[in-house]
Structure 1
Amino acid sequence: MTVRFALVGCGTIAAKHVEAVSRIPDAAIVAVCDRDAEAARRMGERLGVPFFADVHQMATKVVFDAFTILTPSGDHAAQVLDLARYGRHFVIEKPMALRIDDADAMIAACDAAGAKIFVVKQNRYNPPVVATRQALDSGRFGKMVMGTVRVRWARHQPYYDQRPWRGTWAQDGGVLTNQAAHHIDMLIWMMGEVESVQAMTTTRLAKIEAEDTGIAVLRFTSGALGVIEATTGARPRDLEGSLSLLGENGAVEIGGFFMNELKTWNFATEMPDDSTVFDRFGTTPALPAWNLEQYLRGVITSLREGRAGLVDGLGGRRSLELINAIYEAAETGRTIPLRFRPQRCRLGGQ
């Protein structure tokens, strides 16, 4: 059975989905849609599939299994709530929404329609990440002490100026919501539930509404601590996108641009496979969109076997709640407990 995807949004990220799907024999993109009719036409003609400017026309005229939502983050919730009626599944680029209430509404609507939500977190498939998660699950770290993620990327003003929604509260958020979303997801996937957060943000170089630089300190329910450091103000070029985990019995650091290179693998008790871990899991293959391909293969398996996806709606909501809490902490100067209801967080507001 071929799983058929219909793209909603034909912008920059769509090219990666096209690349990834092209390498999966039992998957196909069968239609595309964009409010920019010319963008939809270009993508449709390139792929040889029907193209639309109206998503409802696409949903009624083409048979497919899942919408792939590739629009600006601020549009995700309204689109999913509008399209859930068709009973198709949803693959949604990160973040799934900007507001917690919207994420809850999306989950409820899809549950009612019998539709699955898959939030794209492809870096969980990076080989260094896979090895680290295996070590964590087998108890090699022991009691966790601290987890840290760093996003030190360069986004110059032309990047923001390319799209009017970039860096806006209503449609995008800042570095924490956009560039660091994968790293925040990774930190809590490894370290567990968050108890509370403190944070500071600032806009140092980019001329945008939201922040280009932010830091947060987390306390996990386990008692361990976490640090998030994120900026698009690295100059003159990207520096790193990294994850480090420290436990009583070991330490792992994953670096590179997107947590794709194993840097440190130290454990108090060595295992036979440790001698080859860098050979087997040291780097993510350089093939474009390789980890996205693996993620979509997981989506296909989930749909065929009726199993939950690696990151479902609840998983996507989890990292979104933390991002909202970070903004709330930065705005109020207070320690914000999880769970909470946003009061001062501007993300997703007009």
Structure 2
Amino acid sequence: MNFAIIGCGFIAKKHAHSIREIEGAKLVAVCDKIPENMMFYVKEYGARAYEEMNEMFQKENIDIVCICTPTGSHAPIAIQSAHAKKHIILEKPIAMTLEEADQIIEACHMNQVKLSIVHPNRYRPAVQELRKIMDHHLLGKISHANAMVNWNRNQEYYDQAAWRGTKEFDGGALLNQAIHNVDLLLWFMGEAEEVYSMQATRIRKIEAEDVSNGLVRFKSGALGLVQASTTVYPKNFEESITIFGEKGTVKIGGPNAVYLEHIRIDGMPEEEAHALKVKIEADPWGVPGHQRIIEEMIEAVKQDATPAVSGEEGRKALELALAFYRSAEKNQPIAIRTGDSI
């Protein structure tokens, strides 16, 4: 299938590399307002460069577009791509507001094109193992869960592009850096019904938050904690997700959440738990998540199926993150009513 990439910043390189790794997939075009941003893809992949989307859609035979632009521009670009009858792989988060997310999802439904949101952490080997554990209810009744992202994004990172750290186009530590972990928390724990959050901009000179702490009550009655920051000195400290149940505890951690740091489950011999840890350590990243998402999209198009990380799935993570923002702004608990605009 023929691919195009819209927005040729840092993350676009992961898409381009993944496309090249997949048999039968080809990057035929790239689109960016800044011509020099596209030169790498022209030279490395033989892609044709366009400054305007309409011209690219008219001149190229494109099956799937990968949208890698700042979040604040996702909605108009995705909607235009959907009306052009292109299947869409959209970088995280799906949008800046639920209204925008709904507009994207509706445009894809109306034009009968597939939509997948890039939440690649779901495909990490340790995460896949925890998913199996949760699916088999091996931890019993869940009491609570933690999702932590304590990273370093220095001032130079934010100063590289005017949109970074803005409320209109980017968001802060929660919406940008921790949205994958919000997605995982919901994937493991189910729907949320209430949140309470505090946020601050302590160190970085940005408009959005550089530290966020949030509590969540899930519909199951279990509780959750989400912590996100970009202020850690001098480099990434931890990314982790921990599930606590009546019959076991599992923690995926490290500077990036790729290792089984702790696994104790009732009835699981220590030798088996150790062997699982060793297995993960041998290949902690597995097949890159971007590649898995692109492969799933190709299969979804061929089989007329819904991608695993659909637009609706991406909307759930955005809904929880925005509820945290709203709680911090109002300094009060916020009830989540699925389907509402935030």
For residue 197 of structure 1, give the secondary structure of its aligned residue in structure 2.
strand
For residue 186 of structure 1, give the secondary structure of its aligned residue in structure 2.
helix
Which whole-Å CA distance do the structure 1 matches of 2:241 and 2:301 have between them?
A: 31
Unaligned ranges ≥5, structure 2: none
How has the CA–CA distance of structure 1 residues 77 and 89 changed in structure 2, closer, same or farther, with 3 Å as cutoff?
Answer: same
Indicate yes or no: 2:281 matched with 1:276: no
Q: 1:113 is matched with which residue: 111, 135, 144?
A: 111
Which whole-Å CA distance do the structure 2 matches of 1:20 and 1:27 have between them?
A: 9
* 1:222-253 Cα shifts (integer Å, max 9, x gaps): 00000001100100111011100011111100
Matched residue, 1:204: 202
Indicate yes or no: 2:225 matched with 1:231: no
> 1:6 is aligned with what amino acid?
A
Aligned counterparts, 1:237-316, within 5 A: 237-270=235-268, 274=273, 276-282=275-281, 284-285=283-284, 290-316=288-314
Matched residue, 1:183: 181
Cα RMSD, aligned residues only: 1.6
The alignment's TM-score, normalised by the length of structure 1, stands at 0.93
Indicate yes or no: 2:209 matched with 1:220: no
Matched residue, 1:346: none
Matched residue, 1:104: 102
For residue 156 of structure 2, give the secondary structure of its aligned residue in structure 1.
helix
Which whole-Å CA distance do the structure 1 matches of 2:291 and 2:59 have between them?
A: 27
Matched residue, 1:94: 92
Which whole-Å CA distance do the structure 2 matches of 1:312 and 1:36 have between them?
A: 30
Which whole-Å CA distance do the structure 1 matches of 2:123 and 2:57 have between them?
A: 31
* 1:175-219 Cα shifts (integer Å, max 9, x gaps): 111000101101111011001000000001100000000000000
Aligned counterparts, 1:43-82, within 5 A: 43-82=41-80
How has the CA–CA distance of structure 1 residues 307 and 64 changed in structure 2, closer, same or farther, with 3 Å as cutoff?
Answer: same
Q: Is the 8 A contact 1:245 1:251 kept in 2?
A: yes
- Alpha-carbon distance, 1:45 to partner: 2.8
* 1:262-312 Cα shifts (integer Å, max 9, x gaps): 11111011169545212333465458x822222222222222222221110
Which whole-Å CA distance do the structure 2 matches of 1:304 and 1:82 have between them?
A: 23
Which whole-Å CA distance do the structure 2 matches of 1:25 and 1:172 have between them?
A: 34
Q: Is the 8 A contact 1:175 1:232 kept in 2?
A: yes
Q: Is the 8 A contact 1:261 1:283 kept in 2?
A: no
Q: Is the 8 A contact 1:328 1:342 kept in 2?
A: no
For residue 10 of structure 1, give the secondary structure of its aligned residue in structure 2.
coil
For residue 173 of structure 2, give the secondary structure of its aligned residue in structure 1.
coil
For residue 178 of structure 1, give the secondary structure of its aligned residue in structure 2.
helix
Matched residue, 1:30: 28
**Greater Cα shift, 223-232 or 265-274:** 265-274
Matched residue, 2:136: 138
> 1:40 is aligned with what amino acid?
M
For residue 171 of structure 1, give the secondary structure of its aligned residue in structure 2.
coil
Unaligned ranges ≥5, structure 1: 344-350
> 2:143 is aligned with what amino acid?
V
Q: Is the 8 A contact 2:171 2:209 kept in 1?
A: yes
> 2:153 is aligned with what amino acid?
R
Q: Is the 8 A contact 1:261 1:284 kept in 2?
A: no
Matched residue, 2:82: 84
> 1:34 is aligned with what amino acid?
D
How many residue pairs get aligned? The number is: 340
Which whole-Å CA distance do the structure 2 matches of 1:286 and 1:81 have between them?
A: 33
| Identical counterparts, % of pairs | 36
Matched residue, 1:347: none
For residue 267 of structure 2, give the secondary structure of its aligned residue in structure 1.
coil
> 2:321 is aligned with what amino acid?
I
**Greater Cα shift, 289-298 or 269-278:** 269-278
Matched residue, 1:122: 120
- Alpha-carbon distance, 1:82 to partner: 2.1
Matched residue, 2:316: 318
Which whole-Å CA distance do the structure 1 matches of 2:116 and 2:170 have between them?
A: 19
Which whole-Å CA distance do the structure 2 matches of 1:173 and 1:117 have between them?
A: 22
**Greater Cα shift, 299-308 or 140-149:** 299-308
How has the CA–CA distance of structure 1 residues 152 and 296 changed in structure 2, closer, same or farther, with 3 Å as cutoff?
Answer: same
How has the CA–CA distance of structure 1 residues 173 and 275 changed in structure 2, closer, same or farther, with 3 Å as cutoff?
Answer: closer
For residue 12 of structure 1, give the secondary structure of its aligned residue in structure 2.
coil
Matched residue, 2:326: 328
Which whole-Å CA distance do the structure 1 matches of 2:223 and 2:204 have between them?
A: 30
